[in-house]
Amino acid sequence: MSDARSDTNVNHVTRTIQATTTITIAICVPIAIVALIISAVAISKPAGSDITVQGKTTSPRQTPQPAVAYSPSTYDASQCHASNRRRIYTVATEFDVGAYVYSDDSGFQVGFGHDLIGAVCQEAGIDCRIVTEPSTNCMFSEKGQPQRGGIGLMEGWYDACTGWLATRQRKQIFAFSKPFLKPFEVYFYAFPGFNPFNITGKKIGLISGWFTNEACLAGLDQVAGRDVPHSNVFHAQTVDKLLAMIQIGTVDVGFSMGTVLANKINGTNIQQFPSDPMFCKNAGPPGMMTRKDNDFNSKWNEGFEKLFSSGRFLKTAM
């Protein structure tokens, strides 16, 4: 790329741009156009050591950052690379998952998850952006099948998914950060009169991709009939669809983590069972989930350690 340094010839610039990546083209073409326009203007001016920018006379040495735009003779695509080198990490969170992520009055997603991502990325010194995504793009499952990596994380649409528990199945697909919350409580959701200690013959609704799956059910020692036959398992793609399935009777009972459904059943006829929390044996506490070839977790873990030892994590978690 350095061969472009001494040349402002249009064809040469065009060739240089063609040789760079698509991303560079998207970012740099507007800059190149600006550079060429200013080049044309600058050439028509008498030669001088100073450049006038909006009435201020400055030496180019004092204003290093606009060098690309104001000194066309030094325009170089590699400078554009350099100025955009800082990696942006994109982190997926879900819509409306209880206290962790919810809509504020103006419809923006806010909550603990967003606060935590902001604080940890700041401590880690990395630039993170939140992407709101359906959870099934992070992890996906269908009746009677092992869980599968969601297309969003698998295809690298973003770097990490937020708040996923490391299970044996999932560890074979993705990598996990250090956990940042206690294990989630899990409950059954059904109409009054449901007996949570015997689910024999019941149709069970699960949320696709969640750790509250058939393996978790099978580990609930206090529940009779916990080895639910596949024919009695029904998957909902979202929390709201699970609630609808319970309400219209597609299933007898829904099974989910508590924080998400506890608010949503308010004002409905659906209740939470049993009164004491249950926990999935197959799942640890939640953290960040990434592809195994991604370096996000190592940076996140560093940032999280710093945040935790500073005592600020507990403030964030309140």
Ligand X SMILES: *[C@@H]1O[C@H](CO)[C@@H](O)[C@H](O)[C@H]1NC(C)=O
Q: Which residues bind ligand X (CB under 6 A)?
A: 198, 200-201, 224-225, 263, 266-267
Torsion of CA 114, 120, 121, 124, to 10 degrees: 180
Q: What is the dihedral of CA 178, 182, 186, 192, to 10 degrees?
A: -150
Smallest gap from residue 253 Cβ to ligand X (A): 13
CB closer to ligand X, 114 vs 226: 226
Angle at 132 between CA 130 and CA 137, to 5 degrees: 115
Nearest approach in angstroms of CB 162 to ligand X is: 23
Closer to ligand X at the Cβ: 264 or 299?
Answer: 264
Quick one: 78 or 259, whose CB is closer to ligand X?
259
CB of 197 to ligand X, least distance (A): 7
* Closest approach of ligand X to the CB of residue 222, in Å: 11
- Could you tell me the smallest distance in angstroms from the CB atom of residue 105 to ligand X? 15
What is the spatial distance between Cα 245 and Cα 281, in angstroms, rounded to a whole number?
26
Structure tokens at 296: 């996000």
Beta carbon nearer to ligand X, 78 or 263: 263
Q: Output 40 or 224, the one with its CB closest to ligand X.
A: 224
Q: Is 133 helix (H, G, I), strand (E, B) or coil?
A: coil
Smallest distance, Å, CB 256 to ligand X? 16
Closer residue to ligand X in complex, CB, 60/274: 274
CB of 200 to ligand X, least distance (A): 4
Decide: residue 27, CB within 10 A, 0-12 exposed, 13-18 middle, 19+ buried.
middle
For residues 117 and 134, give the distance between their C-alpha atoms in angstroms, rounded to a whole number. 18
User: Coil, strand or helix: which one is 130?
Assistant: strand
How would you label 110-129 residue by residue, b for 16+ Cβ within 10 Å and e otherwise?
ebbbbebbebbbebbebebe
Residue number with CB closer to ligand X (126 or 278): 278
DSSP 3-state assignment of 23? helix
CA atoms in the 13 A half-sphere facing the CB of 200? 4
